[in-house]
Structure 1
Amino acid sequence: MILPSPQQLRYLAALADHGHFGRAAAACAVTQSTLSAGLLALERQLDAALIERGTSKRPVFTPTGLEVVARARVALAALEAVAESASAGRDPLAGPLRLGVIPTIGPFLLPRLMPALRAAFPRLKLYLREDMTERLMAQLDAGKLDLLLLALPCDCAAAEVEPIGHDPFLLALPPGHRLASQPEVRLCALAGETVLLLEDGHCLRAQAQEACGLPRGLSAHEGFAATSLHTLVQMVAGGLGVTLLPRLAAEGGVLAGTELVLRPLVADAAGEAVPARTLALAWRPRSPRAGAFRDLARAIAQRLEPAAPD
């Protein structure tokens, strides 16, 4: 039996990713004719039709083709792990590292983190991808990313996770709000308030609701959910309600240009945890670079000491 080559599997996966022969060829740095010829050769080797040859400009995969695409991704990830194993034996924190980061962390942590990482690991080349948790997890599983910087809790059971620090929630208020005069705000004081949150799909929305145990009397301005923390801040500045912000974002300048007031949130009862999310690194189970990723987690944790809020 003649086995498919890694290049043929890359052509197939790229076509599935891009849905266009020309774009798939560009992603593989080959001509379109080379990619098409490689896929035809693959079909002959497997003695199976993988792509419907019709009038549609967009490639349509046969049921067999879809199954082969899924297995091709697994095979390519395994081949990359072979190369990673060799690299890890030499210097696991040298060379390229594809890091995925969520939007509620990246803009606020990376500017202060990147210089420190460059100094600590001068041979490390970080390639960054910002996206929401669900899509980053899919890319990690497919072998397109090596490491994720995300916030817990989230649906990341398929990955190995290393917590690196806590990120408490702060209450952002308009300056004349009734709670602005208090040095700290208990969760029960939010009852009856319109608390603005990010739209569905952002893990921060669920984290804020879960970590803060939002009271039943809480109302949410569902018709005006925000797509980013910066938009959320502007909505509060416009008098539409109050919001919960991670301290990381507050220290990262998300309130710039506004007069909003920040107040720490405290639990309703003594002994209860301060409302917070947990920052963490995540990678594929059994990754040969797992030890290096834990070293990187410790290095990041050392640089997460928060500044005192205003």
Structure 2
Amino acid sequence: MDRLEAPAFTLRQLSFLVCAADEGTIAAAAARLHASPSAVSEAITELERSLGTQLTVRRRARGLTLTSTGADVVARARALLASSLELEASLRGAPGELVGPITVGCYPTLAPTILPALLQGFGRAHPRVELTIVEATHDRLQGRLEAGQVDVAFVYDTLIPGEPQRAKLFELPAHVVVAGDDPLASTDAVRLEELVERDLILLDAPPSSEHTMSLFAARGLAPRVRHRVQSYEAVRALVGRGLGYGILVQRPANPASYEGYPVAMKEIAPPVAPVGVDVIWPGTPAPTARSRALIDYARSLPWSVPR
């Protein structure tokens, strides 16, 4: 039998390099790793010495950047570290038991709809899986799947850079939100032409803002934006006080704003195309068994969304 040889570098050195690449500075990586900056710097230097090539460019004022070789090593290191963690997790659990971490990304306005049922049901079925939640808009999720920082994400079906795998969970058309005492609250549906002279409370978070503006643009209209907010509940709160109307997709069962002011959800006439809600995950490497189980569980749920 051929003698097995150990590599000249360690998993610890690889993990320090990956963390430094993610954080952009040695100091930030040290804080995340709960190590000293000198320990992180020395580990990366020793890794470069072992591999016989420069992996990083470190400048005090500009932080740390990867060389082309460094970028390739980081990509390979992520897969190697993920396999190592998967091996460790598989040995901690009984045969067939799912054990280990999953980082779940979720668009903020989807969180109240997606996360409660998902965390409760999946958590009960797999109590030794550690779920970490990252709420982020689509632009902030960019690159996190490819970087291995997010395992599974729940997003609107607009473009996410890269080539993630995806499956549709449900879809809904956008609707108009008006105050409970607004004359439009008693109508069956609202035409966008009726709104252009009114004040719009815009949910200013990608892709929601772009989607709202595109609905008007498709009809040759330009809405009058009074306030831009980044919170779904902030839109409903301002609408409830009569400060304008909103265009939203998610439909909470509660017919009142956060403050208790009544609001009404009205369909748009003529109907607009629905917006899909997808679960996505990296194309490579293949999802772990626990991530695959989470994806399958999400797809199996009978998503009941108020209409």
TM-score normalised per structure 2: 0.79
1:100 and 1:259 map into 2 onto residues whose CA distance is 31
1:164 and 1:240 map into 2 onto residues whose CA distance is 34
Partner in structure 2 of residue 207 of structure 1:
211
2:256 and 2:26 map into 1 onto residues whose CA distance is 42
1:165 matched to 2:157? The reply is no
For the 8 Å contact 1:147–1:283, the answer to whether it is kept is yes
- Would the alpha carbon gap of residues 124 and 40 (structure 1) be closer, same or farther in structure 2, given more than 3 Å must change? closer
- Greater shift in the superposed pair: 223-232 or 41-50: 41-50
User: Which of residues 138, 141, 150 in structure 2 aligns to 1:136?
Assistant: 141
Q: CA deviation at 1:141?
A: 0.8
- Would the alpha carbon gap of residues 155 and 35 (structure 1) be closer, same or farther in structure 2, given more than 3 Å must change? closer
- Would the alpha carbon gap of residues 220 and 154 (structure 1) be closer, same or farther in structure 2, given more than 3 Å must change? farther
TM-score normalised per structure 1: 0.78
2:269 and 2:162 map into 1 onto residues whose CA distance is 28
- Would the alpha carbon gap of residues 67 and 105 (structure 1) be closer, same or farther in structure 2, given more than 3 Å must change? same
2:254 and 2:73 map into 1 onto residues whose CA distance is 41
Partner in structure 2 of residue 261 of structure 1:
263
Q: Gaps spanning 5+ residues in structure 1: where?
A: none
Q: CA deviation at 1:208?
A: 3.5
Partner in structure 2 of residue 33 of structure 1:
38
2:166 and 2:90 map into 1 onto residues whose CA distance is 19
- Greater shift in the superposed pair: 36-45 or 252-261: 252-261
- Would the alpha carbon gap of residues 238 and 254 (structure 1) be closer, same or farther in structure 2, given more than 3 Å must change? closer
Partner in structure 2 of residue 48 of structure 1:
54
| Local SS of the residue matching 1:16 | helix
Superposition map of 1:179-190 within 5 A: 179-190=184-195
For the 8 Å contact 1:160–1:284, the answer to whether it is kept is yes
For the 8 Å contact 1:229–1:254, the answer to whether it is kept is no
- Would the alpha carbon gap of residues 92 and 127 (structure 1) be closer, same or farther in structure 2, given more than 3 Å must change? farther
For the 8 Å contact 1:169–1:246, the answer to whether it is kept is yes
Q: Gaps spanning 5+ residues in structure 2: where?
A: 1-6
Instruction: Please tell me the root mean square deviation across aligned C-alpha atoms, in Å.
Output: 3.3
Partner in structure 2 of residue 82 of structure 1:
83
Q: CA deviation at 1:212?
A: 7.5
Partner in structure 1 of residue 3 of structure 2:
none
Equivalenced residue count is 293
* Cα distance per residue 1:83-126 (max 9 Å; x no partner): 57766896585421111111111244323432222223333321
Q: Percent identity?
A: 23
For the 8 Å contact 2:188–2:267, the answer to whether it is kept is no
Partner in structure 1 of residue 278 of structure 2:
280
User: Which of residues 103, 107, 115 in structure 2 aligns to 1:98?
Assistant: 103
- Greater shift in the superposed pair: 212-221 or 172-181: 212-221
Q: CA deviation at 1:142?
A: 0.3
